[in-house]
Amino acid sequence: MGGFEHGMKNPFDLQIFILLLDGCGTGEQPDSPAFGDAGANTLRHVLEVTGVRLPNLEKFGLLRFAGSGMRGTASGGRLEQKSKGKDTASGHWELMGVPVDVEFPVYPHGFPPEIIGPFCRAVGRGILGNTPASGTEILERLGPEHLRTGDLIVYTSGDSVFQVAACETVVPVEELYRCCAIARDLLKGPHAVCRVIARPFIVQDGRFVRTPRRKDFALPPPAPTFLERLQDAGGTVLGIGKIEDIFAHRGITENRKTINNRDGLERLHAALREDFTLTFCNLVQFDSDWGHRRDAAGFARGLQEVDAFLPRLLETLGERQILMVTADHGCDPCHAGTDHTREYVPCLFHGKAIRGGVECPDTPQSALAWTLARLLGLSFYHESGWAPLLSMGITK
């Protein structure tokens, strides 16, 4: 089962499926203390605090990074981030071969008047907030005033983000998108934040609930990523979740939005029967709903959901299809603060076309792009990539 049921459009001998558990880090890097993240280990801490069992992910090999000691059926190891930040874009771009050697601006005290003044004049509305905050907390605090005044809720976080929240019945979603596009145009030069994010919400049973119509206005990667190079070589790329937004719509043949992790898993499973060269699926709830909100129990439930779904993916995986599980950074709900944590991330490959159980040493995140290129028979990079992984060979 799996692969090419809709025609031989993929020009390569293999298909690769990336399942990214957003924020699921696997322990502090040597430079983690410089980021205030000494001792962070998202996966291990969540499992220790909650005591959940993940038998399928343990057999797969993911839990070896949480101290289980089991090698598992998948091959790979840990990736070390070299970019100067620990944000979503840096993590994804580096995985696709483009480390970020500049620091995106952050605003621990809110945005300055030279940004907020022109923004308010351009959108024709006032603002509320202008402070670092949790997305749910600030809605509870400022939602009633927003409903009364129509002023936009503007906030940031430890990431380089300018977030704009508005109730869909007060500010239509398309107008919210227009406001965010204006902000994106204003945030240039020293204020070039990585992402402007539209955060629409509704009032449901007296509660403020964010809707799935979030939209990111991201800076483009500073150089062509593996996704763009793959397209130039004739390959096709399917993004699932917020992938298209993270890469500023570059290198994506088609993108399918998701409403939650389960939806992402279902769409990934469906893609196994399609013919995209590379499918890249982000499960954002680990980061947005549980990591940032310090909800270890929710994070654990999310892992259990993936654990229960994993057999469906593996059973459907075709002879020439490879499933890869990774993450972009840490977001340890048991660590201090509510921001991302500087951590290694897992990188595990599984498929009938590749030998299993191979353990690889720690290597930079960019090694993933090098390795994918080599697995597909491409020569985009001078670096050899993950030599121990490549030594597994591809069974013909």
Angle subtended by helix axes 261-271 and 296-316, to nearest 10: 10
Amino acid in position 267: R
Report the distance separating Cα 368 and Cα 362, nearest Å: 12
Residue 96 makes CB contacts below 8 A (sequence gap 6+) with 221, 225, 226, 227, 247, 251, 368, 369
C-alpha closest to that of 147 among 161, 173, 124, 165: 165
Write down the pTM of the prediction.
0.89
- Strand-strand pairing, 363-364 and 75-80: parallel
Quote the pLDDT of residue 35.
92
Contact 325, 22 (CB under 8 A): no
DSSP E strand boundaries for 151-206: 152-156, 161-167, 195-204
How many Å from the N-terminal Cα to the C-terminal Cα in the chain? 18
Where is 272: in which H helix or E strand? none
Quote the pLDDT of residue 3.
39
103 three-state secondary structure:
coil
Contact 92, 106 (CB under 8 A): no
- Strand-strand pairing, 345-350 and 363-364: unpaired
Domains and CATH numbers, the chain: 15-101+220-390 (3.40.720.10), 113-218 (3.30.70.1250)
Quote the pLDDT of residue 393.
47
Contact 127, 116 (CB under 8 A): yes
Where is 296: in which H helix or E strand? helix 296-316
Amino acid in position 158: G
- Name the token pair of 8: 């031989």
Contact 212, 54 (CB under 8 A): no
Q: What is the pLDDT along the chain (396 residues), one digit of tens a residue?
A: 343 333 446 789 899 999 999 999 999 999 999 999 999 999 999 999 999 999 999 999 999 999 876 789 999 999 999 999 899 999 999 999 999 988 899 999 999 999 999 999 999 999 999 999 888 889 999 999 999 999 999 999 878 999 999 999 999 999 999 999 999 999 999 999 999 999 999 999 999 999 989 999 999 999 999 999 999 999 999 999 999 999 999 999 999 999 999 999 999 999 999 999 999 999 999 998 999 889 999 999 999 999 999 999 999 999 999 999 999 999 999 998 888 999 999 999 999 888 888 888 899 999 899 889 888 988 776 555 554 454 444 443
Q: Which residues pair with 343 in a beta bridge?
A: 28
